[in-house]
Amino acid sequence: MLLAARYAGGVKLDRQVRDTVLHLHLRRRGCRAGQHHRRQVAVRPLILKVNNRSADCTDVSVIPTIVSARCCRRPAAAAAAGRREPRSSVIIHVQHCSLQNNVNIDLLNVCLLGNKHASLCDHIGSNDLHFFVAIETWHESSSCPQVIATTPTGYRRIEKARPRKPSGRKSKSGGGICLFYRSCYTVREVSLPVYTTTKLLAVYVQRSKVCFVVVVLYRPLSSSVANFLFEFADIIE
C-alpha cells in the first residue's frame, strides 16, 4: 500500500499512518536534505550514545554518530600519549626437525669382502652404526653369499656390484659398493650417469619427517685426477 501511494503522486498519508511508520523505524526511500531526520526529531527525542553516556538531543543540526561496540585495542595510557600498541606478529616460526639421536656412519675399504663378513657384521652391530659403507667389495651381485652374511639382524643393504667387461667376463679386481643401514630407514637409490673415473652410489634416505641424501664416492688410484675433477664437478651440479 505504501509503495502504491508513493508512485501515485500527490497522495498524502494521514497523521496516524505516518506516526506508525516512524514508530516502527521504517525509513522512506528518497528522503533528502535531512527531512527524515527533522521529522524523527519532532516525534521523539534523539538519543545519542557517546563514550557510554546517554544524552537527549533536540537540535536538528546535530549529526547522529554511530559508536562502535568493539573495545579499544589500545590501553588508555597509550591512547592518551598518542602511541600505538605494538601489533602481535603473524609470522609462524617453524621449528627445524632433527633426529633425536646422532647418526653413526662408518666407511671402510675392505679390499675384497671374502671371509671378512663375520668381523664386519660384528663391527656394525657392536658400534651401533646407522649406516656402514664398504667399498672395494669385489662382489658380483646382490645375491652374493658374503654380502648376505655381512648384513646384521635388523639391517638392510643396498649395493652396486662391480661392472663386468663388455665380453661378459668378470673383472680381475676392484669395484663394488655396499651400504648397510638400519631397517628403520627407507632408502632408495638415486639414478645418476655412469662415470669412468669415479665409483658412485647415491641414495635418498627418509625417516619420519627427516630426509637427506647419502652419496658414496671414491676414486681409484689408476684414474686421471684431471678427469676426476671434471666428473666430480658434474656430480656436484
Domain ranges of the chain: 2-62, 105-236
pTM (predicted TM-score): 0.55
Non-local CB neighbours of 198 within 8 Å, separated by 6+ positions: 217, 218, 219, 223, 228, 231, 232, 235
Alpha carbon distance 113, 115 (integer Å): 6
pLDDT of residue 159: 92
Please give the CATH architecture assigned to the domain spanning 105-236. Answer: 4-Layer Sandwich (3.60)
Average pLDDT for residues 208-216, to the nearest whole number?
87
Range from 39-53, 157-171, 211-225 carrying the lowest mean pLDDT: 39-53
Residue 49, amino acid: K
Residue 9, amino acid: G
pLDDT of residue 36: 61
50 or 24, higher pLDDT: 24
**Whole-Å CA distances, 188 to 128, 191, 236:** 22, 10, 19
Would you say residue 229 has pLDDT above 80? yes
Q: Which is it for strands 105-109 and 131-135: parallel, antiparallel or unpaired?
A: parallel
Tracing cell 665380453 back to the chain, one arrives at: 167
